[in-house]
Amino acid sequence: MALKKVSVVINGSRVELTKNPSTGKYEGTIAAPNMTSFNVNAGHYYPITVEAEDLAGNVTSANDSDSALGESLKLFVKETTKPTILITSPASGAYIITNKPAITFQLRDETNGSGIKISSLTIKVDSGTTLTNTSPGVVVTSVTGGYNVTYTPQTALSDGSHTILLNVQDNDGNAATAVSRTFTVDTVPPILNVSSPAEVTSYQNVASLTVLGTTNDATSSPVGVTVKLNTGAATATVVDGNGNFSKTLTLVEGTNTIVITATDAAGKTSSVTRTVVLDTVAPVVSSITIAPNPVNVGQSYIITVDVTD
């Protein structure tokens, strides 16, 4: 006949409603909980209990399990903080010498957030098809606050520049700021031609030797060149814009081993080894014999020279 009060209970707080004289209904303006409802229960909502009490002390109560009113007693609260994506490998601008490089990244939502919705993950390499968390090559590991993901391309990437593009959402529908990463695949060692010394093994009688050559790399120029003489250090040489290099060495008497190594920006190497024998000592003739001597006209004789070097 006459109501005493109408109140609601949500998230442990009770609020008494007030009667709107123009509609006759009971109303309340209530601040939403400051945390997403996603983690509250399997239905991802805050349950509300409504209680009406009349002046005689009769109480009617309904909550989210009520067959008729239950659906109206579920409050869905969404957070608005974007999840984050951090690519841990490859580094920006990295040169990679394998053509199926593992791409690793971390997906995180804020503390007490709705959490990463892993099925919303998108992975795109260059202009390829968009992959998801269940695509071949994608390995997802659940960690505190989100997921760690490794994606290994199932077909080899070509030599050259590639860009990976990632995005994900949290369970409340907030999309991360998309993250991209560009890197270069280089599986081919640099070209290295050594024109001096031209032969694998050569001989000379002056100590000075100039190593000459050219180098080039299709994907990862510029190329660095080092020259190593015998047990000495590998010494960097200047390589000009056309790939030419030269390095003057001072040989030691005897056998000299020269190793020329070209290294491209990705770290792929090519090496050429030359052996140069420095011999500054003229041969020594120690004895000569002629037999028979004298020799008869028209007959042959043998001359023997004992010479060492």
**Chain contacts with Ca ion (rule: CB under 5 A):** 81, 109, 113, 170, 174, 186, 188, 217, 219-220, 264, 268, 279, 281, 309
Considering the complex, what minimum distance in angstroms separates the CB of residue 91 from Ca ion? Answer: 18
Q: 58 or 208: whose CB is closer to Ca ion? A: 208
Considering the complex, what minimum distance in angstroms separates the CB of residue 59 from Ca ion? Answer: 39
Considering the complex, what minimum distance in angstroms separates the CB of residue 220 from Ca ion? Answer: 5
Q: 66 or 159: whose CB is closer to Ca ion? A: 159
Q: 71 or 306: whose CB is closer to Ca ion? A: 306
Q: 29 or 309: whose CB is closer to Ca ion? A: 309
Residue of this chain nearest to Ca ion (CB atom): 113
Considering the complex, what minimum distance in angstroms separates the CB of residue 28 from Ca ion? Answer: 28
Q: 64 or 170: whose CB is closer to Ca ion? A: 170
CB 248 within 8 A of CB 213: no
Considering the complex, what minimum distance in angstroms separates the CB of residue 86 from Ca ion? Answer: 15
